[in-house]
Amino acid sequence: MPKARTSKVNTKVTSGKFSYEDYAKERDSLTKFEQSTYDGYERTILTLSAAFLAFSVSFLGLLQKGNNRHPPLLAPKVLFFSWIFFAFAVFIMLCNFLVNAIGLRAAVRDVWNAYDTQLTHTARKWTLLGFSLYFLSGISFLIGVIALIRFCAANLWVL
C-alpha cells in the first residue's frame, strides 16, 4: 500500500493538545501500523487462496480413492468456479502490488511537488484503486470459499 504522504509544515505550531512533533510521531506510528495491516491482509489472501486450491485438489483425490467405480461428481462447475475465484483473488492481489508501487511513486512526486509549492494529489487515485483491488480480492476469495464448501457438501456422500 502506498505510504502516507507527508509535507513540510511549520514545526513550532501547536494545535489543541498536540505539538507538531507529537502529531508527526503519532502519524508515523499509525502509518507503520496501517502498512503492516495491509501486508498481513495481502499475505492472508494469497496464503489462504493457495491453501483452499490445494484442499480442493486433495478432496478430489480423496473422492477418487473412496470409491473404485468413480461415480460422477456432483456440481463440478461449482468446483471450477471456486478455482476461478481463488485464482482471480491471487491475480487481483498481484495487480495490487503493481498499483501500490505506482501509487507510492505518485506519493513521492506529490511530496516533492508540495515541497516545491505546487500541490498535486495524483496519489489519491492510486490509493483509491488499491483499496478497491483489496476489496475485490477479498470478495473473490469469499465467493471461492463458498463455492468450494458447496462442492464439498454436495460430494460428501461419495466418501
Q: What is the pLDDT of residue 35?
A: 83
Q: At 108, is the pLDDT very low, low, confident or very high (cuts 50, 70, 90)?
A: confident
Q: Higher pLDDT residue, 82 or 121? A: 82
Residues 56-88: tens digit of each pLDDT: 988 888 877 755 666 677 888 999 999 999 999
Q: At 55, is the pLDDT very low, low, confident or very high (cuts 50, 70, 90)?
A: very high
Q: What is the pLDDT of residue 66?
A: 58
Whether 141 and 86 have beta carbons less than 8 Å apart is answered as: yes
Can you tell me the distance from the alpha carbon of 111 to that of 121, in angstroms, rounded to the nearest whole number?
Answer: 9
pLDDT at 153 over 80: yes
Can you tell me the distance from the alpha carbon of 16 to that of 48, in angstroms, rounded to the nearest whole number?
Answer: 45
Q: What is the pLDDT of residue 141?
A: 96
Q: So where are the chain's domains?
A: 16-158
Count CB neighbours of 140 within 10 A: 22
Q: Higher pLDDT residue, 105 or 68? A: 105
Threshold 0.85, pTM exceeds = no
pLDDT at 147 over 90: yes
Assign 105 to helix, strand or coil: helix
Q: What is the pLDDT of residue 34?
A: 82
Residues 6-44: tens digit of each pLDDT: 545 444 545 556 677 887 788 788 888 888 888 899 999
What is the sign, positive or negative, of the torsion defined by CA atoms of 111, 98, 32, 16? positive
Question: Residue 74: CB partners within 8 Å, gap ≥ 6?
Answer: 154, 155
pLDDT at 122 over 60: yes
Can you tell me the distance from the alpha carbon of 120 to that of 107, in angstroms, rounded to the nearest whole number?
Answer: 9
Can you tell me the distance from the alpha carbon of 22 to that of 14, in angstroms, rounded to the nearest whole number?
Answer: 9
